[in-house]
Amino acid sequence: MAELDRDVLKQEMTGWRRDLHAHPEFGFEEKRTAAFVAAKLREFGLDDVAEGVGGTGVVGTLKRGSGNRAIALRADMDALRITEQSATTHRSQNPGIMHACGHDGHTTMLLGAAKLLAAEGGFDGTVRFIFQPAEEWGRGALAMLDDGLLRRFPFDEIFGLHNMPGLPVGHFETRAGPFMSAEDNFEIVLKGIGGHAARPHSGNETLVAACALVTNLQTIVSRRLSPADISVVSVTELITDGTRNALPGLACILGDARSFRPEVSAEIERQMRVIAAGTAAAYNVTADVTYSREFVPLQNDADLVDAAFVAARRVLAYGAASIAAEPMTASEDFARFLDHVPGCFVFLGNGETSPPLHNSSYDFNDDGLLHGTNFHAAIVRQRLGGAIVK
């Protein structure tokens, strides 16, 4: 089959990426984006294109040869509620919403891989191109799984990638085992008796208790968990109903915890309940703890990390691929797929001078587009036994 001109493909992909960037949509509202993706997949001649999977998700299927193995590649489509600070011609046209996490780039790289593999083949089996909604909330993967993704579009392995500011363009990194953390959220409500600021002894105000509790929560990681278990407990908000001359009868502490094993997450919750109850008792107020699990830890399959490394080394510059990345205490909805099917998630460089993810000046670096597309194609050809075409 005819080999696609990579320079032409890169130019075309840059156009798609900037179009998607200019039209960002929030999680589960990716209607234009999903229609754009589905139209492109049909234009490339895929065997099947299913829309509305888990809300706004799209799944494209491409078959070649007679092999019965299937491999999935996944991209995310959603944007964030951030107002873009940019003067580029492709800046967001949807006020208050922007692609500040580069999901426009991920969607484009996977579309590029679909075009490339549909035109060139070079594999024997089935490829599933999964475009998921609502990654940022940690809800889109579950929505697709609940909608029968694994039954309707079965696959044996799954690969995904995320751009990474700070990492040079064309560089790749990942690691075997725990790679990205779980995210838990918590809310602790302290109730006492508010009163006059001049007479604290006549009530049971909650602010001093809340301050003590914020301090005591720091001992979960430092004194209750093994130093070998990477974890974070961050109090992010302290809200009371106090005012200038009135002590609060109500205080609310909110925060976020990260960990890499379910046992550690369970222990953080258990210790938090013990410390909240004990601190509240010491200050003669009550504490009510609500603890929720938002993202599960992302566990890469060791063999597939090795496979991804080999594929990356075939398409990237010598020395640009590493499987010695450190675990990261950020969370990723891709982890939900790995609860069911082995796979590997990788980072691709967005450049050393790139603003950070979720920053209002961030923009996906189009110089990385072809690297992601080439990696997707290389892993498919490697895992489905076709010849590698560089």
**For the chain, how far is it from start to end, CA to CA, in angstroms?**
14
Is the Cβ of residue 73 or residue 101 nearer to Zn ion in the bound state?
101
* Binding window for Zn ion (CB under 5 A); candidates: 11-19, 31-39, 93-101, 279-287: 93-101
The secondary element (H helix, E strand) that includes residue 225 is none
- Which two tokens mark 189? 């409500």
Does residue 101 touch Zn ion according to CB under 5 A? yes
- Which two tokens mark 213? 């509790």
Burial of 390 (0-12, 13-18, 19+ CB in 10 A): exposed
How far apart are CB 76 and Zn ion at their closest, in Å? Answer: 6
* Binding window for Zn ion (CB under 5 A); candidates: 97-105, 239-247, 261-269, 378-386: 97-105
Does residue 298 touch Zn ion according to CB under 5 A? no
Indicate the Cα dihedral angle 16, 19, 20, 26, nearest 10°: -170
> Which of 135, 61, 148, 151 is closest to 100 using CA atoms?
135
How far apart are CB 134 and Zn ion at their closest, in Å? Answer: 11
Does residue 378 touch Zn ion according to CB under 5 A? no
CA 378/CA 358 separation, integer angstroms: 29
* Binding window for Zn ion (CB under 5 A); candidates: 87-95, 100-108, 110-118, 292-300: 100-108
Does residue 82 touch Zn ion according to CB under 5 A? no
Does residue 75 touch Zn ion according to CB under 5 A? no
CA 352/CA 348 separation, integer angstroms: 12
In the DSSP assignment, the letter for residue 363 is -
Does residue 296 touch Zn ion according to CB under 5 A? no
Is the CA virtual torsion 13, 17, 22, 25 positive or negative? positive
Identify the bridge partners of residue 125 per DSSP, sorted by sequence position: 64
* Binding window for Zn ion (CB under 5 A); candidates: 22-30, 98-106, 250-258, 321-329: 98-106
How far apart are CB 286 and Zn ion at their closest, in Å? Answer: 36
Other CB atoms within a 10 A radius of the CB of residue 20 amount to: 27
How far apart are CB 106 and Zn ion at their closest, in Å? Answer: 8
How far apart are CB 152 and Zn ion at their closest, in Å? Answer: 25
Does residue 118 touch Zn ion according to CB under 5 A? no
> Which of 376, 21, 27 is closest to 36 using CA atoms?
21
Count of chain residues binding Zn ion (CB under 5 A): 1
How far apart are CB 45 and Zn ion at their closest, in Å? Answer: 29
Is the Cβ of residue 106 or residue 383 nearer to Zn ion in the bound state?
106
Is the Cβ of residue 157 or residue 333 nearer to Zn ion in the bound state?
333
How far apart are CB 101 and Zn ion at their closest, in Å? Answer: 3
Binding site residues, Zn ion, CB under 5 A:
101
